[in-house]
Structure 1
Amino acid sequence: MTHSGRWTTRSSTPKYTNPWISVREDAVVRPDGGEGVYGVVTMRNPAVFVVAMTDEDEVLMVSLYRYPTQAMSLEVPAGGSDGENLLLAAQRELVEETGYTAREWREIGRMNALNGVCDAPEHVFLATGLQAPASVEDAERAAREQKAEGISAVRAVPWRDLTRLVADGEITDGETLAALMFAAATLGRL
């Protein structure tokens, strides 16, 4: 008996939904012909990731507590698009999480997080020509957003230090690692 190497969905049952995700359980036929159950998490809107480069060849990164892992994480600014234009979402996330704006923007990659269990499209942007908050009000607004998201620090990490931070286990977020790889490829640093 031969099989196509593909999965077949026999039925799909919604299990949970909120404004950000939905979870379903599918009755499936596996590529080997056996039957099983597959749980799938679907993000309602694509996410955006921002590799923000300073003129000094540093990457702006945020330190924040991640509830699912119960640990601090060093990451590039990121977040949900909330259904808005992806570039506008990336620009909003950079301001909210760091207080900075950027003069130049470029989409440099697309990826899928945890594609073994999730349907979670993600878009990576490179931001350059960074500018610090323009006013005290802008800085205060960014500080409020950072507090709301659990961001404890914004760091400008020299590009040359990124590999060491990965090797030392300080950068462990898979999406940040992938976003930095897209930046490395775009900047010719592989």
Structure 2
Amino acid sequence: MAPPIVSPSPIESTNPWTTLSTREGYSNPWIRVREDQVINPGGGRGIYGVVEYKNRAVGVVPIDDNGYTWLVGQWRYCHERYEWEIPEGGCPPGEEPAECARRELLEEAGIHAAIIEPLLLGVQLSNSTTNEVCDIFVARGLTFGDATPEETEQLEVKRIPLTEAIQMAQDGRIRDSVSILALLKLALKS
């Protein structure tokens, strides 16, 4: 039996913020930073800084017929540490997220996927200072070729049991939020 459809309450459908003005502080090909003059829900005046992402984030978990997956390791500049993640990338406007997932999987891991299935769509990666959202997919029907990472990527790729990748997400060896969301969602489905 399907759950009942619940209409949003008036408080859920009414924006309590008033934007008085917007000023762009910075822009590059990937992000735009803006500062809004606002009236907050309590009636006070203030500022709200927002980082707008120009691309949609996309992640993909490749799974083979034997229950293995592939992780990508790389140095993450902002966090100043090496991280293990599922293959991920940015989906520019005009590209379908599923096709972006297919492209990123090939670029980063050298894997062709016959099937790309949605796992999580429209996930908000931070709801306080950015508008970044992510779509996450599962890839199946895998064949293999050569990875072609971008100039900004120095990657290591490793094949491990999916159960081990899930354990890494649970015990903190994987810290990337997109990877954790994807792997824990897959753990719930099994």
TM-score, normalization: structure 2? 0.84
**In 2: Cα distance, 1:80 partner to 1:146 partner:** 12
More helix by share: 1
Written as runs of structure 1 = structure 2, the 5 A alignment for 1:1-190 is 6-83=16-93, 84-110=95-121, 111-133=123-145, 139=146, 142=147, 144-145=148-149, 148-151=152-155, 153-185=156-188, 188-189=189-190
**In 2: Cα distance, 1:36 partner to 1:55 partner:** 54
**In 2: Cα distance, 1:79 partner to 1:55 partner:** 25
**In 2: Cα distance, 1:146 partner to 1:5 partner:** 40
Aligned residues: 176
Gaps of 5+ in 2: 1-10
Q: What is the letter of the counterpart of residue 87 of structure 1? A: A
Q: What is the letter of the counterpart of residue 150 of structure 1? A: Q
Which digits, 9 at most, give the CA deviation of each residue in 1:117-156, with x for residues without a partner?
A: 11112111110111111xxxxx2xx2x51664121x1122
Other structure's SS at 1:69 match? coil
Q: 1:178 to 1:78 in 2, by over 3 A?
A: same
- CA drift of 1:87 comes to 1.8
Q: 1:136 corresponds to which residue? A: none
- CA drift of 1:103 comes to 1.1
User: CA RMSD, aligned part only?
Assistant: 2.0
Which digits, 9 at most, give the CA deviation of each residue in 1:153-176, with x for residues without a partner?
A: 112221222343134321001121
**In 1: Cα distance, 2:15 partner to 2:55 partner:** 29
**In 1: Cα distance, 2:104 partner to 2:49 partner:** 30
Other structure's SS at 1:149 match? coil
Give the fraction of aligned pairs with identical amino acids, expressed as a percent: 34
Which digits, 9 at most, give the CA deviation of each residue in 1:2-29, with x for residues without a partner?
A: x977222111111111111111011112
Other structure's SS at 2:149 match? helix
Q: What is the letter of the counterpart of residue 125 of structure 1? A: F
Asked if structure 1 preserves the Cα contact closer than 8 Å seen for 2:51 and 2:129, the reply is yes
Gaps of 5+ in 1: 134-138
**In 1: Cα distance, 2:181 partner to 2:170 partner:** 15
Q: What is the letter of the counterpart of residue 65 of structure 1? A: W
Other structure's SS at 1:160 match? helix
More off after superposition, 153-162 vs 39-48: 153-162
